[in-house]
Amino acid sequence: MNSFKRFLNYVKPYWHYILFAAFGGTIKFVLPMIFPQIMRYFVDEILVNAGNISVGLKSEYISKIHYYSSLMIGLYFFVWIPGVYIRHKYAGKLAQSVVFDLRYNLFKHIQRMSASYFDQNKSGAIVTRLISDIQLCQNMLNSAMTNVWIDGSILIFLLIIMFKMDVTLTLISLSILPFYIMIIKTIGQRVKESSRMVQDEIENIQGDVQEKISGATVIRAFTMEKQEEEKFEKKSKKLFNFNMNRVKLSSINNALNGFLIKIAPVIIIWFASISILNGNLSIGEMTAFYAYLGMFYMPIERFSRLNVVFSNSMAAIDRVFEVFDKTPEVQEKENAREFVDMEKKIEFKNVNFSYNGEEKVLKNINLTVEKGEKTAFVGASGAGKSSLVNLIPRFYDVSSGKILIDGEDIREFKLKSLREKIGIVLQEAILFSGTLRENILYGKKDAAEEEIIKAAKAANAYDFIMQLENNFESEVGERGARLSGGQKQRITITRAFLSDPSILILDEATSSLDSRSENLIQESLEKLMEGRTTFIIAHRLSTIMNVDKIVVLEKGAIKEIGSHQELLQKNGLYKKYFKEQFQEAIKYSKEDLLENSTT
């Protein structure tokens, strides 16, 4: 119930909506309680003696029938309709307001999670909690949070009326409640557990589907459609079985509670009929009591349905607050200072790093990079190149050791101010749905038009942008699907130019491009690196021959440091990598020459 209490904290700011909804609900449910008394009067005073009244009295009774019937119609039209409108409007407003706050705060929390959280959770699974689970929470607000108070009050009010009318019949009416409570307690917990399994499986399926859709080209290329269909069918059947279990529990709940509510009136009529024959009860009183009995069991029946809604919603609420309970591994200190700029150097001192707390991917890294230096990291896949540079903007924190900027531990700085001074161009150019302008403005949200154009020209992106139909307002599509790989990369470089960072990280930014695109991008990157402290993860060694410092990594440890010429003279790992790439380049050049000579 701890999650429920936390959920109520989101409801508290909107308590006045509950009051309005309760006021409207009171009108909606209380007003019809007048009619059984009018009906009792009609039966006992008028209809029972209909054949024995005089003409004058008949006219008076007809006038009363017209009056009370018109009164009820008027009350329904002028009072009941506005009451129902108020009840549903403010119940809906409560639900939408709480869901908005909950979803927004959850999104903010997810945005602040460390990179490790996204490594461990599929994006589709995260989206499920943010969208589907919170949508289930809304069901509780739409019904349970408002109906429960109204229905509880109505039950008490009706019990007072019914006890005044006939104590025995009222006690008989209450005789089903112990069985009803037993059903709620028995089935409610099982429904919650079943709903949790359904939501967990939906999360798994959504995560897998999102991966498969984004990799649809690979699936088609390897003709794996049939296998993926079979996998999806298997997971869908599992979800189907979980859903059917939930349906079964809900059906049992509805059937048992429905049985109790349906047999109760039969028992009441049974005993009431005997009371009438014994002269202890009038037909009108029985008619009125029967009408109140229907009103009494209506909220009980709603409670039965709310039991299922509450159990389903609680499973979703638990899943939502599980995410809130996860704290970012990278934390900002309370007294953290603004990072202004780098003045002298960046130092890695005895840095060790592990993703899982066990296997080290970086071991005892000691490195000093002076301001304005260009430092390249080379090594085999898994050597720790990306892991090392990801520590600089604190996407991850070191397991031990320190990273210092001008002698200050980077953990002493505010994250936002530190990252604002670091520009990143990744191997995979990541763009978001929207326009080119919107994506470029990630670099500087308040940039002027002149700044955007200047950055685009520096990144060799301006010409192709101006050839597009809507120029900077052109839509890029999901993940930049409407642009080529080279065009996307130039937009990310434009973004980096616009942010004007003092520290630059280039993570194999040209490794997946054709030679023409690589030349354009390499040219723009040379401009971008001017005067900036730059860390380069290199795949093609030909692109880093002129950097100030090359760091060779192997299995998470630094093996060699030096310039291109210095490392070639050492006859170590770097020379080995260089010779391998050089021989490969010669091989491909000869093959190209041979192919051209035969055509």
Q: How far apart are CA 593 and CA 570, in angstroms?
A: 33
Amino acid 594: pLDDT: 43
Q: Is residue 274 part of a domain?
A: yes
Chain centre distance of CA 401: 35
Q: How far apart are CA 20 and CA 9, in angstroms?
A: 19
Residues 260 and 383 in one domain: no
Residues 412 and 525 in one domain: yes
Q: Is residue 296 part of a domain?
A: yes
Taking a C-beta distance cutoff of 8 angstroms, is the pair 139, 314 a contact? no
How are strands ordered across the β-sheet holding 408-409?
360-370, 345-354, 400-405, 408-409
Taking a C-beta distance cutoff of 8 angstroms, is the pair 351, 38 a contact? no
Residues 419 and 314 in one domain: no
Q: Is residue 225 part of a domain?
A: no
Q: Is residue 599 part of a domain?
A: no
Taking a C-beta distance cutoff of 8 angstroms, is the pair 339, 422 a contact? no
Residues 317 and 455 in one domain: no
Residues 455 and 319 in one domain: no
Chain centre distance of CA 386: 28
> CB under 8 Å to 542, separation ≥6 — which residues?
581, 585
Q: What backbone torsions phi and psi does residue 341 show, to the nearest 5 degrees?
A: -175, 165
Q: How far apart are CA 566 and CA 574, in angstroms?
A: 10
Residues 284 and 360 in one domain: no
Residue 229 carries which side chain, given as an amino acid letter?
A: E
**Total domains in the fold of the chain:** 2
Tell me which residue has tokens 């670099």. Answer: 443
DSSP calls for 344-399: SEEEEEEEEEESSSSSEEEEEEEEEEETT-EEEEE-STTSSHHHHHTTTTTSS--S
In the chain, the N- to C-terminal Cα span, in Å, equals: 77
Q: Is residue 576 part of a domain?
A: no
Tell me which residue has tokens 């460390």. Answer: 114
Q: What backbone torsions phi and psi does residue 513 show, to the nearest 5 degrees?
A: -110, 160
Q: What CATH number is associated with residue 300?
A: 1.20.1560.10
Range of the domain at 544: 345-570
Divide the 599 residues of the chain into consecutive groups of 10 and give the mean pLDDT of each group: 82 87 82 78 70 70 82 87 88 86 88 82 80 80 68 79 84 81 75 77 76 67 71 83 82 78 81 82 80 78 72 82 87 87 90 85 90 89 87 89 90 89 82 85 86 86 85 82 82 85 80 63 80 85 84 89 87 83 56 44
